[in-house]
Amino acid sequence: MDKSEQLTKDFESNVIANTVRSIRLYHVNDTFTQSSKAKCHLIDGGIEIGLDNYSFGIFWNYDDEIYNWFENPTISKFEENDFKNVELSELINPVDFIDYKITKADLIWEYYQNADYEGNPISKKNFVPLQIHLKFENNSELLIALVAYDYDKSKGGAYAFRFDLLECEILISSESDGEIKNANKK
């Protein structure tokens, strides 16, 4: 079993049949991007999801200049970095997720390593999910993905999303359609 398979297995054991108690969204900038056509929103600070006895999330790490994954933080990563709270109801309907159990979780993992000036790794592999797709007992779905995107005004304002760990924002959608492509397979 490789590392990403083990991380997925561990994640599933913590979230499957566990009830969501809170979802918090954070932003670094004053605005966020949304697409009613693509039925998604893009934020740049992070997301934190609290369950009965487990919490997880993705946040922008100013030191590494990349998104990081966290589980069960002792202090909110967002409070210590002075992120702006985004009202959840501005983006998704919280009643679709809060107080419901997660029945399925699909993840796609990627990793990064800090390197010296010659490109030699100087840190362990830091794994971050490029996608977390959660399904709930009430048949609702929540998609969280690290994406880069292109906006094509000539195509009626269409967005083209692709997974990207380096130059990305966090996509939040309650209506996933599988349109995200892996950046490595453009």
How does pLDDT run across 21-32, given as a tens digit for each residue? Answer: 999 888 887 766
In a domain, 159, yes or no: no
- Examine the pLDDT at 179 and tell me if it is beyond 60: no
What domain range is 123 assigned to? 3-146+165-175
In a domain, 58, yes or no: yes
Q: What angle do CA 66, 18, 42 make, to 5 degrees?
A: 35
In a domain, 81, yes or no: yes
- Examine the pLDDT at 138 and tell me if it is beyond 90: yes
pLDDT at residue 59 in the model? 87
Query: Is the CB of residue 158 less than 8 Å from the CB of residue 37?
Result: yes
What is the average pLDDT across 167-178? 75
- Residue 46, phi-psi category: left (phi > 0), alpha (psi -120 to 50), beta (remainder): left
Give DSSP secondary structure letters for 101-158. Answer: BEEEEEEEEEEE--B-TTS-B-S--EEEEEEEEEEETTS-EEEEEEEEEEEEGGGTSE
**Global pTM value:** 0.85
Give dist(CA 46, CA 105) in Å, integer. 19
Q: Give every CB contact of residue 143 below 8 A, 6+ residues apart in sequence.
A: 40, 131, 132, 133, 134, 171, 172, 173, 174, 176
- Examine the pLDDT at 183 and tell me if it is beyond 50: no
Residues facing 183 on adjacent strands: none
In a domain, 183, yes or no: no
Q: Write the DSSP symbol of residue 19.
A: B
> For 34-75, what is each residue's pLDDT tens digit?
665 556 788 888 899 999 989 999 988 887 788 889 888 655
pLDDT at residue 178 in the model? 46
More confident residue, 29 or 126: 126
Looking at the structure of the chain, the number of domains it has is 1
> For 88-111, what is each residue's pLDDT tens digit?
777 777 788 999 999 999 999 999
Give dist(CA 142, CA 110) in Å, integer. 20
